[in-house]
Amino acid sequence: METFRPGDRDELKEVVSWAAAERAPLAVSGNGSKAGLGRPVEAAHRIDLSRLSGVLLYEPEELVISAKAGTPLTEVEAALKEKGAKQAETVPRV
């Protein structure tokens, strides 16, 4: 199984387009923190999105935060803590 690690949106688009054209299933992971949840994935290749990291938008007054797929939960929590907020306990911890 080959693992792709795109570093930006264009590289991600290229990998996904290639996989779609080849009809090659991709196992997608952000930072792998939830890999133990759900059913096992049967895929020809893996796409690791951990290089696509960072908080894109945070509006504490609106309770809105947006982050890239590979953003570690610790980075999201740090952004929240900076403004005196915290994450709701709805995210499973593995």
pLDDT tens, position by position, for the chain (94 residues)? 899 999 999 999 999 999 999 999 999 988 777 777 888 888 989 999 999 999 999 998 888 999 999 999 889 999 999 888 877 766 565 5
**Entry pTM:** 0.74
Domains of the chain and CATH, by start? 2-82 (3.30.43)
59 — alpha (psi -120 to 50), left (phi > 0) or beta? beta
What pLDDT is recorded for position 71?
Answer: 92
